[in-house]
Amino acid sequence: MTVLSPRTQRLLEAPVLPLLLSLAAPNVGEAVARITFLAADAIFVSWLGSDALAAAAVVLPLFLILQTATASGIGSGVSSSIGRALGAGDRALASSLAGVAAIIAVVGAAFTSGALLLFGPGLYAAMGLAAAPLELAIVYGAVLFGGSGFVWLMNVLANVSRGAGNMVVPATAIVIGEVFHLALSPALILGWGPFPELGIAGAALAALAAYAVGAAILVGHLASSAALVRLERIYLRLKRDEVVAILQVGAVAAGSAVLLQLTIFFMAGLIAGLGSATVAAYGAALRLELLQFPVTFAFGSAVITMVATAAGARDYDRARRAAWTGAAVTGAIGLGGGWLALRLGGGALAVFVVIAVVSVLFGAGLVVFMRVAFARLARG
């Protein structure tokens, strides 16, 4: 008889709605912290002028492609495959998947860093930026994408932990990293204290510091005996079946995330010819649009873990209940936000309508995604 860990048993036996809310809560805190620090970072960059803001606005969508492709894309494949393994009672397979995921992160980082360092300057130039913001964009992008390994590693390892049902450790690691980001950003941009004045390159370095700190905390946790799924040297090798298990979900999710961010990137290109001030305003609006992330990300991560674990245990009824509950909760939050916007009116309307529409679409998309996943499991 397979002996499941208490954490896995809770995922399989606890009432669905309270479990969903408890798993989502740390993710909400994490996402809110990220957005808060992102807004603060925009303020720091604004101290350098509209050219710097325009440069950041052009590079930011490409960075968001990297962020969403690794966290919501490949990360979904990692967490779902590990959840299925633990639901089936196979901790050794789950740890092996964690090792494969770490290798995928290293390979993915090498590819994205090389591609974006090589083609990034040409992309920024194609956006029609004037000479001054274009020069700043090239510097900002070179630093940011040169350290993409930290982004890959932190996001992939965070989803290893989430797949095991532990949302608190990755949320804590990310929040601590963002505190470093907040402290280092003005210091490196403006040269406070012992730090050199690096301008927009300092903003990029501070952002990378957040990912580096988060990745270090996650490596420490996953290498310890406290982790349900361990990151061990014996598992650091590629296995075809496990790569397929991760990518058959992760590649589809990453493709969807990339398409969304590419749309944002090309929109920035359309308005780039209108001047630095206009592009900078677009970047500020883009950061406001990120307000929808806490809802979609928090509940999406929780639902994936719940569904994957139940599917691994062959409890498909519970998996469906988890998917429908997640869709209902996000839809209700979105519609509630839209109603509140209509009551408040004014500037709140646009923000809440965006949240409402995205949340409802996310809920519907979640159910479709789970149906596809069930069909694949049935064929397997």
Q: Could you report the per-residue pLDDT of 44-64, keeping only the tens digit for each? A: 888 888 899 888 888 887 888
d(Cα 127, Cα 164) in Å, to the nearest integer? Answer: 42
Confidence at residue 172, expressed as pLDDT on a 0 to 100 scale: 95
Confidence at residue 79, expressed as pLDDT on a 0 to 100 scale: 94
Asked if 95 and 320 count as a contact pair (C-beta separation under 8 A), the reply is no
Extract the tokens encoding 340: 């509140």
Confidence at residue 211, expressed as pLDDT on a 0 to 100 scale: 95
Q: Which amino acid is at 166?
A: N
Q: Which amino acid is at 12?
A: L
Q: Kindly give the parts of the chain with pLDDT less than 50.
A: 1, 347-357, 359-364, 366-372, 374-375, 377-380
Confidence at residue 265, expressed as pLDDT on a 0 to 100 scale: 64
Predicted TM-score of the model (pTM): 0.83
Confidence at residue 287, expressed as pLDDT on a 0 to 100 scale: 57
Question: Which residues 6+ apart lie within 8 Å of 170 measured at CB?
Answer: 26, 30, 157, 158, 159, 161, 162, 214, 218
Confidence at residue 360, expressed as pLDDT on a 0 to 100 scale: 45
For the chain, the structural domain boundaries read 24-289
Confidence at residue 248, expressed as pLDDT on a 0 to 100 scale: 85
Asked if 59 and 140 count as a contact pair (C-beta separation under 8 A), the reply is yes
Question: Which residues 6+ apart lie within 8 Å of 23 measured at CB?
Answer: 165, 167, 301, 302, 305, 306
Confidence at residue 73, expressed as pLDDT on a 0 to 100 scale: 84
